[in-house]
Homo-oligomer: A and B are copies of this chain.
Amino acid sequence: MKITELPTPALFLDADTFDRNLAAMAAVHPGAALRPHVKAHKCTALAAAQQAVGHATFTCATPREVVGMGLAGVGTDLLLANETVDAARLRAMADLDVPVTVAVDSTATVDAAAANGITACLIDVNVGLPRCGVAPHEAGHIAELARRAGLEVRGVMGYEGHLMMVTDRAERLAAVERAMELLLEAHADVGGPVVSAGGTGTFDLHDSTGVTEVQAGSYAMMDTHYGQQGMPFEQALFVSGTVISVRDGHAVADVGLKALGMDHGNPSVAGGTVWFCSDEHVTFEPSEGLSVGDRVRVVPAHVDPTMAMHEAIWIVQGDEVVDRWPIDLRHW
């Protein structure tokens, strides 16, 4: 099947670009030096491709991602880089054949994990992003609680998410190093072999931070937001749309805000300037003549929520559709 035969809106991945992105990351962080973040794609087939280039440890944001990866048999070490006190979900993760580690940052999350069969944890440390995570000086105390509750404490994690979009590289590096000093301060009190941090925006700034593994996800697919950062990853993810209306000065394609993560703003359209998105439309000014029925490529501003809106992603080589991967780790 040709890409132009797909019913639209159709999420698709350019296979060659995707492979280059995987290779570029694996060259910098081979094997377990990268713990790919499943939340970026929510797709076990895509995770299997990451495993095929050497990464067998994975980061997840939801219990469903962990359980789905475990049941699909992808990954040999799964981390829930998030807190939960949901007994049924903790139990479902603990019942998997694959080892599961969860993040904890409080007595309640430690107790819930221990009470429901979880055996290993990382202490989640706040390194500047006000979300989950204890203050660095409290990390040792939580580790002690966790060990007393019978959990193996494998180390610490901290996500410098507030620094992903610092545009100046030197500034970003300096800020990352300061954030990682906080994480190492916590790690000194916690112990364990793992210091887990990072993301696509800071993937190459951890040479001397003491981090043992980088959690990155977007690098494999990319989006316009990360695309402005001058990284060695290319845009591999697109939404194919059909032009459904052509008017004086603007055209409309059938790729709307229900097919696109909008929290980073409007998407881009190849060969046009986007005016706005509605539920099922993108209105744009085309740079050359378009006709109703023509196809356009829409590039999402934020990859993670875009993937979460689609049932499947089409895998494309050139103009040929070669596969369809279900996005099977959606919802919670």
Contacts and interface: CB of A to CB of B under 8 A. Distances in A.
Interface in A274-332: 275, 277-281, 283, 291-293, 304-305, 308-311, 331-332
A292 B7 contact: no
Interface stretch (A18-26, A144-152, A177-185, A240-248): A240-248
Counting every copy of the chain, the complex holds: 2
Interface stretch (A83-91, A189-197, A208-216, A223-231): A83-91
A331 B10 CA distance: 10
Given A61-B279, A86-B7, A280-B62, A292 B39 contact: no
Interface in A71-102: 82-86, 88-89
Interface in A247-271: 247-250, 252, 254, 257-259, 261-263
A130 to B, nearest CB: 5
A108 B243 CA distance: 11
Contacts of A130: 247, 249-250, 275, 283
A8 interface: yes
Given A131-B278, A278-B131, A308-B258, A292 B109 contact: yes
Nearest to A266: B263
A244 B309 contact: no
Interface string A108-148: 11000000000000000010001111110000000000000
Given A85-B244, A245-B83, A131 B279 contact: no
A244 B83 contact: yes
A135 B250 CA distance: 13
B131 A245 contact: yes
A86 B106 CA distance: 53
A201 interface: no
A306 B277 CA distance: 15
B247 A279 contact: no
A8 B242 CA distance: 36
A279 B305 contact: yes
A14 interface: no
Given A82-B280, A257-B263, 8 more contacts: A9-B332, A61-B280, A85-B292, A85-B293, A130-B247, A133-B245, A279-B304, A310-B331
Closest 7 A/B residue pairs (Cβ): A108-B292, A132-B245, A262-B263, A83-B244, A258-B308, A61-B280, A257-B263
Interface of A: 7-9, 39, 61-62, 82-86, 88-89, 105-106, 108-109, 126, 130-135, 161, 242, 244-250, 252, 254, 257-259, 261-263, 275, 277-281, 283, 291-293, 304-305, 308-311, 331-332
